[in-house]
Structure 1
């Protein structure tokens, strides 16, 4: 199976599995950066916190990210202005920029480095999109520049830079925050998979039959286990992108993202004394293709031709849900369940938004003021957008649920809602296109919302 460069060595100290039923103030499900940041803030405030992870900490979306810590999330500010207004767009920028500043204060320069972020296009017909985004920057007073030249080996038609951004080693960063949370008294348990949630109590039942009783429950898993509350299940679309890493002689001064249909994300990183270029792209709906090697081959070809790569040492893929209006869902899952909190829908920008989510949820739970609570609320999606997204995703689910039995009759069924999975040749995983669940070659769960392993013995 392909491996992430961030997980190439055993950086994380293993944590025990939960082997007893316990009572805690706050239970958090999901051992990625959003869950860890939330645990840090709440434990710092004196809450007893228990964090549960079904696999290993930071081995999911965080450990398979590009590690960009930036408020430049693609062509988003012009869109937010149009959908929600100038104040909402400014608040989104300020929250994510504050996340960068707080991260710089939390860890040292071996884990985090300041960088300039760039959006660029190689296509003349996309130049206006870059110009419009630059207009949004000027309206919001976002520090940046507009130009046509970049240090990367392409010839952009236009680019816009956002100053004062950063990039991190996501696993080392998460480990550092975890260590601080543990010092505050937080408890971390891995290989402790939640299989059932009671929302009204609340409590969480684990695969090993133990129970965690709590006053507040926070769901920071990649795809919410109880996503049917508030219709999150049909509002989230799951996309997968592909990343390769290869050695280079020196680091780039910036980090880059193209807005073209053939999109590319580019950054460099220093790992154990060596510099690496990370080249990512070729996004597709999760589980929609078996021949995933073609996505790796496309960016590998570019690495050899454009970057003179001599060897592709690492390659991996990552997936992330997105909401209909691009803003994440962070906060109380619904008015009817004030003690149930949710963080999801980061649209591949989960590094900065995880830091934002940790602050929003902890402030909301503690009764503190935070302007982001309303902006990121899971209730923010307008009905029209939600309904259209529900039709798209719900309709596709029906196609895969029914059609999969015809075209993939011998493939195992996803243990979430019974869709037929598809074998991912490049990553050697069973992927479900209905809601993004992923399973290892042996059938064990890699990513939810599924919580039970595949039955590989059954073929129908």
Structure 2
């Protein structure tokens, strides 16, 4: 069951070669998700000599395991953004994500993208108050949102907050299309090319096949940054995991929905090759902290049957999402001391629009163009309470898991990132690290970083 609908229904694969020789480039991008591919496209269009390295196959990670919503409605967010960053910055966040949605619409073909209304809904008085507060933020920023009580779902709703004419995508097909455009613009994409060593001072990378890449500028689009210790970003990211199930359906929805009450649920339909699929997601928890994860699939599957009258289950998958402490992703130079290294991560489950928005920010920085969101998304932006508390929380978790894991999970393999004991995830058949979110396949190979080396299963 555990296989993404998007990966199952992708276009026939365009095979990209593994790097088999030493090369030079203006910009090297590590990571072949939507973020890396969008950066490759934008920079190649600017005439840069771009190389993208992916350790597995492009779009097989976070992008291929997303919900496929391309929207500016990122749950309840704008009221909080106004409180933390002010109205002008909240408007900037909205505008760059709105532009990202427009960009997706500008090049998509066929069923890669469909227009859909984005809808938040409440089922309690408290949830309705959250929606009313968010609507006030919409009005303050200038977002055209409609507060009402309209829902296609077979659920009791107290209120809804809708933004019309947003988008839902087939994230893999759209990404495959964008990758072709990037290559057409001059970018070179290499798969099965895992970076094993970095010499940032000499601006050199070495792959698993011992090939050397000489770069002028480096972009880390690896979901969880493998070099983030320099700016302490690794201490400022929490990693959560959520689950998605899909089933055939004859009930295409015009909207895509998120509940603001608990339990949190996300609902949409997807129209692929003439067939409709119903997607239900939720059941989140901190990454690596649970062993028996099959229960989350079972809970969602049960709701598919009992609430939406759908059966049988077609497939289910899970997604892992790093979050920054202040809601805004990191996109830009990783530190002032190393201005030629760029970081792109922390999308907080909204990596589709934010991937495209962040790619614009970084590509503009590299070519010397002003971007109004650069300071808002900057990885070296400063802060007090939320940053400090998140760092302390994550540090405490690491110490606790490192010590406790070595005592209680003595037979579990040790994560190759910072030495924590992993946990076996029975449902997804992976070894998951509770310290910083690294994941390994059953054979020990790296599925998700920040680890770069395989487990020792001996």
Same fold (TM over 0.5): yes
Contact 2:221–2:343 (8 Å) recurs in 1: yes
Q: What is the DSSP-based 3-state SS (H/G/I as helix, E as strand, rest coil) of the residue aligned with 2:341?
A: strand
Pairing 1:259-408 to 2, within 5 Å after superposition: 259-408=260-409
Q: Deviations over 1:343-395 (max 9, x none)?
A: 00000100000000111110000000110111100122413221111111110
Q: Deviations over 1:374-418 (max 9, x none)?
A: 110012241322111111111001111110011211100111111
Q: Deviations over 1:112-163 (max 9, x none)?
A: 1111101112222222111100111111121111012311111112221112
Quote how far apart the aligned CAs of 1:272 are.
Answer: 2.2
Contact 1:149–1:155 (8 Å) recurs in 2: no
Contact 2:444–2:456 (8 Å) recurs in 1: yes
Aligned to 1:211: 212
Say whether residues 1:70 and 2:71 are aligned partners.
yes
Q: Deviations over 1:284-309 (max 9, x none)?
A: 00000000011111111110011111
Aligned to 1:7: 7
Q: What is the DSSP-based 3-state SS (H/G/I as helix, E as strand, rest coil) of the residue aligned with 2:379?
A: coil
Say whether residues 1:423 and 2:424 are aligned partners.
yes
Contact 2:111–2:273 (8 Å) recurs in 1: no
Aligned to 1:147: 148
Pairing 1:29-178 to 2, within 5 Å after superposition: 29-178=30-179
Pairing 1:428-443 to 2, within 5 Å after superposition: 428-443=429-444
Contact 1:127–1:158 (8 Å) recurs in 2: yes
Provide the rounded CA distance (Å) in 2 between the counterparts of 1:332 and 1:110. 35
Quote how far apart the aligned CAs of 1:109 are.
Answer: 4.1
Provide the rounded CA distance (Å) in 2 between the counterparts of 1:257 and 1:10. 25
Provide the rounded CA distance (Å) in 2 between the counterparts of 1:145 and 1:324. 29
Contact 1:325–1:381 (8 Å) recurs in 2: no
Q: Which stretch has the larger CA shift, 382-391 or 275-284?
A: 382-391
Q: What is the DSSP-based 3-state SS (H/G/I as helix, E as strand, rest coil) of the residue aligned with 2:242?
A: strand
Task: Name segments (4+ residues, structure 1) moved above 3 Å.
Answer: none
Quote how far apart the aligned CAs of 1:259 are.
Answer: 1.6
Aligned to 1:251: 252
Quote how far apart the aligned CAs of 1:10 are.
Answer: 5.6
Quote how far apart the aligned CAs of 1:196 are.
Answer: 2.1
Provide the rounded CA distance (Å) in 2 between the counterparts of 1:124 and 1:46. 54
Q: Deviations over 1:221-255 (max 9, x none)?
A: 01001010111010000000000000110310100
TM-score by length of 2: 0.98
Contact 1:324–1:381 (8 Å) recurs in 2: no
Contact 1:251–1:268 (8 Å) recurs in 2: yes
Quote how far apart the aligned CAs of 1:9 are.
Answer: 4.2
Pairing 1:213-228 to 2, within 5 Å after superposition: 213-228=214-229
Q: Deviations over 1:41-76 (max 9, x none)?
A: 000111000000011100000000011000001111
Could you tell me which runs of 5 or more consecutive residues in structure 1 were left unpaired when the two chains were aligned: none
Provide the rounded CA distance (Å) in 2 between the counterparts of 1:255 and 1:201. 47
Q: Which stretch has the larger CA shift, 339-348 or 100-109?
A: 100-109
Contact 1:424–1:431 (8 Å) recurs in 2: yes
Quote how far apart the aligned CAs of 1:14 are.
Answer: 2.0
Q: What is the DSSP-based 3-state SS (H/G/I as helix, E as strand, rest coil) of the residue aligned with 1:165?
A: strand
Provide the rounded CA distance (Å) in 2 between the counterparts of 1:297 and 1:9. 23
Q: Deviations over 1:192-222 (max 9, x none)?
A: 1112222223121212211111000000001
TM-score by length of 1: 0.98
Q: What is the DSSP-based 3-state SS (H/G/I as helix, E as strand, rest coil) of the residue aligned with 2:217?
A: strand
Provide the rounded CA distance (Å) in 2 between the counterparts of 1:273 and 1:163. 24
